[in-house]
Amino acid sequence: MKNPLPDELYHFRVNPRKPDLRGDYFRDQTAIIHASPFRRLKHKTQVFFSPKNDHICTRIEHVLHVSTIATTICKGLGLDVELAQAIALGHDLGHAPFGHIGEKVLNNLSKKFGGFIHEVHSLRVVDKITRHGEGLNLTYAVRDGIVSHCGEKFQKSIVPFRKAKDLEKIRGRQSSPCTYEGCVVRLADKIAYLGRDIEDAITIGLITGKDVPLNLKKNLGSTNGEIIDTLVLDVVKHSAGKDRIALSDNKFDLICQLRDFNYKSIYNHPIILKSDKAISSLLSHLFQHLYNEYKTNGDDLNAYEKSSFLVDRYFGQFHLKRAELYRSERFPERCIVDFVAGMTDSFALESAREILFPQTVDYHTFP
């Protein structure tokens, strides 16, 4: 398999760098894993908000799962493992706190500021937000894979896009990756979360193993590891020697059945929907509070520093370090979206608790 565009484009960086012994794509990996947004993934929900259960998948585990699955497929197909790993490690850096409900709420709250799609925001994070606004200066191929990973759309096969794209103009999920490695990551993303979500749902008691249709257990596997193994081998077998990354008709049908089961029995479970409602309210209050603060204080860091709320002071510092970026944008209010999207679940909870609940007063100190 040979990628359709010139190598010079794939290796292009906006700010040229002198090559070193790591090579371009492994260099991108190191930049990603040393970046603050990557560190925060360990405290961001994948599907289930469960801060007291160490065995429930977090966002950082998910990107590592995607990386290992993509690596195995690329080894089977003779593709560039380091490129796929870099895309996988960076693909969810722009995810909001609290998983997909966080993304949905943030998108609704920010409609007049351009909306929020995590794939697009992940590119914004690596290009403009990280390192106090300097960005990570990643290669074109990695940036393309990140913005084009499209975690929601299920396809039986993916063909690399054969024309160069202006990545900054991408605003939705319609973009296909321009490398085979990006296509692999896009498919590995689904393989990584479908079986693991079932495993986690069983762990927390939402469902039992008996609830999973026998047809799926028989033909895909009864454990997350078996499901991954079945699908990875199927992708390698049905992509080798082809011009696309693909699943067989049978396995694609089964993966769609698995997706439908997850939506019916897990993602739309009454307990999850109840949790989503609480999270929606929490993020809405937090966003509105920061919006009001921004409209009042603007670029005045001193005003934020005088606030009794820690979240206001952090927001002021975040905004000041990227003030040049926001002054150049159509919607300077985007700073609120960027700040909230970067929060971990725990920081969002603490910040909401701070602004929604009164501070404790020791009445014994009064005369």
Tokens of 166: 């202006």
Which domains are seen in the chain, by residue range?
7-93+130-268 (1.10.3210.10), 271-365 (no CATH)
Cβ pair 18, 24 in contact under 8 A = no
The pTM of the full predicted model, rounded to 2 decimals, is 0.94
Main-chain phi, psi angles of 194, to 5 degrees: -65, -50
Q: Is 193 helix (H, G, I), strand (E, B) or coil?
A: helix
List, in sequence order, the alpha helices (H) in the chain.
7-10, 24-33, 36-40, 59-77, 81-90, 99-109, 118-124, 140-147, 180-203, 214-219, 224-239, 249-262, 270-297, 301-305, 310-321, 323-327, 334-341, 345-356
Contacts of residue 149, Cβ cutoff 8 Å, sequence gap at least 6: 87, 91, 119, 122, 177, 182, 185, 186, 189
pLDDT tens for the chain, 367 residues: list them.
899 999 999 999 999 999 899 999 999 999 999 999 999 999 998 887 766 677 888 899 999 999 999 999 999 999 999 999 999 999 999 999 998 999 999 999 999 989 999 999 999 999 999 999 999 999 999 999 999 998 667 889 999 999 999 999 999 888 899 999 999 999 999 999 998 999 999 998 999 999 999 999 999 999 999 999 999 999 999 999 999 999 999 999 999 999 999 999 999 999 999 999 999 999 999 999 999 999 999 989 999 999 999 999 999 999 999 999 999 998 999 999 999 999 999 999 999 999 988 666 555 554 5
Q: CA 101 from chain center: how many Å?
A: 12
